[in-house]
Chain A
Amino acid sequence: MKAALNAYKVIATIVGCLLIVLVVIGVPLEFLSADGSGAKSAGNFLTEYVGIAHGWLYMVYLVTTFVLSRRARWDVPFTLVTLICGTIPFASFWAELRAIRHTQAKHPEPVSA
């Protein structure tokens, strides 16, 4: 359970940060900057490679979250909201905090770790 929670924390943070880089930096750079400018090619690079990395890491996030949801016995709506929030910039961090609190409230540490 603890391992699953820690794995969830790590992957959720990575995916959340990548998503922000992709949506808040990469996409505006690609679509708002002038053709042929350095900013445009930087945006292209970000959306290409961060986009690919984020897509695959999101799959890892899905599986990790699902494993945790079963170990921690989240109900189905809670699990779905957590999974979906992983795709929304910034909301992913809120969902991560919510999921950690929910899990710890349901399964308090037996003794101080």
Chain B
Amino acid sequence: MSTSSPAPALRPWSRRLWGAHAAMVVVVAAAIALGLWQYGVSQQHKVDQIAKLAHATPRPLTDVMGGNDAFPGDHLGRPVVVTGRWLGQGTVYVSGHTHDGQHGYWVATPLRVDGTASAIYVVRGWSADPATAPAAPGGAARLVGWLEPGQQADSTDTPDLSPTSTGSATQAHGPAVVSSLDMAALIDEVDVDLFSAYVVGADHQADWPASASPVNDGSRGLVDVAAPALPKADATTGLRNFLYAIEWWLFAVFGLYVWWRYVRDVTRVTEDAPREDDEGAPEGDAQEDAVRSDA
């Protein structure tokens, strides 16, 4: 095997290529890490936007929806100010809610909203046992809460409102336990219409001035409940950083490709040097293009 190059054939694991291998590893690892970083930034933008929406300045409930309106999806999780009078008789205990791993209930009481003919259920808090929950409040109230759409009753677990099991819905006969805040079922609990929404009391949020002075919010003696559904972040939020993340990952692929071509070239040139039409052939555009066409 005569060869035009006196150097021994370069093998991919040759010591002289270790630098190229190391550079490839560094570049690819850096590109992947930078992509992860940009991905994290894009997700953080979404989290920040959601936190901002959930802690936006509360608007009066009646500005956001009327008593007979369908739930305004754009306002999911928005903080609203509710003003009205408690309808303590309609208090229900929503089963299936845990707190610190302990089974218990949301305590929800309807509030007749001023300026409307309807009431809205307010989740005042969480309690381990309806028997020990504080009595439902009465009188006028003004509080801030997150707006949530009415839930659908689980078909296999209908609200247990029948007098024969847990007693009638009235306080005198024991607590009304329900499995969800399904307005179609709860309508029997009150003698007015219901909003197609409920509100989770949010008056104990720190650093939120609008919630600093609730009036008769009925949350004393109950554990705070977090809003079950948060506002949605816009699809475009963090888009730039998300696309940057993808670019970095593509760059990692590009780095791999360059490394592969380089290693293939330098190992091939010396091995296959005798072949005239190979890539190690003398320069010249015509020949070059011929070589290229098969690559």
* A56 CB contact (under 8 Å) in B243, B258, B292: B243
Interface size class of A (residues with CB under 8 A): 10 to 19
Contact B262 A76 (CB under 8 A): yes
Q: Which of A35-43, A62-70, A89-97 contacts B (4 or more CB under 8 A)?
A: A62-70
Please give the distance in Å from B248's CB to the nearest CB on chain A: 9
Name the prevailing secondary structure of the B interface residues: helix
* B292 CB contact (under 8 Å) in A55, A58, A71: A71
Across-interface contacts of A66 in B (CB, < 8 A) = 254, 258
Residue of B nearest to A55 (CB): B247
Across-interface contacts of A76 in B (CB, < 8 A) = 262
Residue of A nearest to B258 (CB): A66
Contact B283 A73 (CB under 8 A): yes
Mark out the residues of chain B between 233 and 266 whose CB falls within 8 Å of any chain A CB in the assembled complex.
239-240, 243-244, 247, 250-251, 254, 258, 261-262
Q: A24-42: contact bitstring with B at CB < 8 Å (1 yes, 0 no)?
A: 0000000000000000000
Across-interface contacts of A48 in B (CB, < 8 A) = 239-240
Please give the distance in Å from B10's CB to the nearest CB on chain A: 14
Contact B251 A107 (CB under 8 A): no
Across-interface contacts of A47 in B (CB, < 8 A) = 240
Does B276 sit at the interface, judged by CB under 8 A?
no
Q: B272-294: contact bitstring with A at CB < 8 Å (1 yes, 0 no)?
A: 00000000000101101100100
Closest 8 CB pairs of A and B: A55-B247, A52-B243, A48-B240, A52-B240, A51-B240, A107-B285, A59-B250, A1-B285
Ordered by A's residue number, 12 sampled pairs between the chains whose C-beta atoms are within 8 Å are: A48-B240, A51-B244, A55-B244, A56-B247, A59-B250, A62-B254, A66-B254, A70-B261, A73-B283, A107-B288, A110-B285, A110-B286
